[in-house]
């Protein structure tokens, strides 16, 4: 429920003291934050449960490294109050009652109501603590940073569990980069002229550096392999993500180039292009006889999804079809005539 989410949020609060001054965003985002798997598995009775917290990290902080401060509200043993052995159960945590039922004597064991089974009396208090999370260059989404013993202290005899921070790359990053391993991908529209004659762009990197990126003189940007994602890819070597633990070794940056074709060309421009571009290698030669005897069709634009929806209607149009009607009836009253040429 929202109350539970709110309670979880009350436990963690990002301090407004980040390196980049990023605040915690609007309230809705915070309450919708994904809180990992919740409480982890206990590793034995003498150690408390681990607790996890998901920290959203923008790609720029994985690139540059960052220190994030997180305020946590946790329960700790109040050492200003004495910790004493429970006098009700003598430290056993259980009380034993002897119940006599006629000739039988039965012993009933139950959890000590005074110390709730702890065997000790002690006080706990709420404590607000600030932890510093060091995001190192090249760390990845999903990476875990443990803080030993930073979960709640439930008893003086139980070692508190760990607080485990799980780094999660922020979605909808406005940097424009997508990360795959240590490689970065950025999408750029380019015109057909640039694809053919040369391309220059300025890219602002994740650390703010400005890169002028140019295609090699004479290099034509063309698809490498249409069956894979590799088409219209060019690479800027060594400008990908730093390697975690070896930040001077970087991946590559790929430019995914979307070629924007001209909407139209004048007949004059078409003639000039035909003169300067290499001729088509496999264009058929159409003879007058072929023109007269072959069927003629013209290419049009069509969305295959619209086509599928429209042709699905044909399957149910059999009964509605009236053979006496010239041209034939279509569902919905549309009339179609076959073009005569």
List of residues contacting Zn ion (CB under 5 A)? 86, 88-89, 112, 114-115
Residues 6+ apart with CB under 8 A from 100: 106
Strand ranges in the chain using DSSP code E only, listed in sequence order: 12-14, 51-57, 66-77, 84-85, 94-101, 104-111, 120-121, 124-135, 144-147, 163-169, 177-180, 183-191, 200-204, 210-214, 233-236, 242-243, 246-250, 253-260
Question: Is the CB of 112 or the CB of 135 nearer to Zn ion?
Answer: 112
Question: Is the CB of 108 or the CB of 336 nearer to Zn ion?
Answer: 108
Q: Please, what is the minimum distance in Å from the beta carbon of residue 77 to Zn ion? A: 17
Question: Is the CB of 86 or the CB of 195 nearer to Zn ion?
Answer: 86
Q: How far apart are CA 126 and CA 73, in angstroms?
A: 7
Question: Is the CB of 88 or the CB of 233 nearer to Zn ion?
Answer: 88
Q: Please, what is the minimum distance in Å from the beta carbon of residue 106 to Zn ion? A: 21
Question: Is the CB of 86 or the CB of 135 nearer to Zn ion?
Answer: 86
Q: Please, what is the minimum distance in Å from the beta carbon of residue 70 to Zn ion? A: 36
Give the CA dihedral 227, 232, 238, 243, nearest 10 degrees: -40
Question: Is the CB of 114 or the CB of 200 nearer to Zn ion?
Answer: 114
Which residues sit opposite 234 in a β-bridge? Answer: 255
Residues 6+ apart with CB under 8 A from 319: none
Distance between alpha carbon 208 and the CA centroid of its chain, in Å? Answer: 23
Q: Please, what is the minimum distance in Å from the beta carbon of residue 82 to Zn ion? A: 15
Q: Please, what is the minimum distance in Å from the beta carbon of residue 91 to Zn ion? A: 7
Show the DSSP H helices in 205-317 as ranges. Answer: 267-276, 288-293, 304-314
C-alpha triplet 96, 101, 103: angle, nearest 5°: 115
Residues 6+ apart with CB under 8 A from 258: 187, 188, 189, 190, 232
Question: Is the CB of 113 or the CB of 223 nearer to Zn ion?
Answer: 113
Distance between alpha carbon 310 and the CA centroid of its chain, in Å? Answer: 36
Give the CA dihedral 102, 103, 108, 113, nearest 10 degrees: 50
**φ, ψ dihedrals at 125, nearest 5°:** -140, 160
Question: Is the CB of 104 or the CB of 108 nearer to Zn ion?
Answer: 108
Q: Please, what is the minimum distance in Å from the beta carbon of residue 121 to Zn ion? A: 7
Question: Is the CB of 115 or the CB of 195 nearer to Zn ion?
Answer: 115
Residues 6+ apart with CB under 8 A from 13: 24, 70, 71, 72, 73
């Amino acid at each position: 429920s929202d109350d539970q989410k709110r309670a979880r949020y009350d436990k963690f609060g990002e301090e407004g003291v980040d390196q980049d001054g990023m605040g915690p965003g609007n309230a809705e985002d915070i309450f919708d934050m994904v809180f990992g798997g919740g409480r982890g598995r206990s590793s034995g009775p003498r150690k408390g449960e681990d607790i996890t917290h998901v920290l959203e990290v923008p790609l720029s902080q994985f690139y540059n490294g960052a220190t994030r401060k997180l305020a946590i509200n946790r329960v700790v043993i109040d050492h200003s109050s004495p910790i004493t052995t429970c006098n009700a159960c003598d430290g056993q945590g259980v009380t034993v009652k002897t119940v006599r039922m006629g000739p039988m004597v039965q012993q009933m064991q139950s959890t000590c109501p005074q110390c709730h089974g702890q065997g000790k009396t002690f006080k706990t208090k709420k404590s607000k603590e600030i932890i510093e999370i060091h995001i190192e260059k090249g760390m990845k989404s999903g990476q875990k940073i443990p803080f030993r013993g930073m979960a709640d202290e439930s008893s003086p005899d139980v070692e508190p569990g760990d607080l485990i921070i799980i780094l999660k790359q922020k979605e909808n990053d406005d940097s424009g980069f997508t990360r795959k391993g240590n490689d970065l991908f950025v999408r750029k529209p380019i015109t057909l002229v640039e694809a053919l004659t040369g391309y220059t762009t300025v890219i602002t990197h994740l650390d703010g550096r400005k890169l002028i990126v140019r295609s090699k003189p004479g290099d034509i940007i063309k698809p490498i392999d249409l069956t894979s994602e590799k088409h219209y890819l060019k690479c800027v070597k060594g400008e990908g993500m730093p390697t975690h633990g070896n930040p001077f070794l970087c991946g590559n940056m790929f430019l995914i180039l979307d070629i924007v074709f001209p909407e139209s060309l004048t007949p004059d421009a078409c003639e000039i292009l035909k003169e300067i571009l290499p001729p088509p290698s496999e264009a058929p030669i159409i003879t007058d006889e072929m023109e007269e005897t072959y069927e003629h069709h013209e290419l049009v634009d069509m969305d295959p999804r619209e086509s599928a929806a429209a042709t699905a209607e044909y399957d149910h149009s059999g009964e509605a079809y009236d053979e006496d009607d010239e041209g034939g009836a279509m569902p919905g009253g549309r009339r179609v005539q076959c073009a005569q040429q």
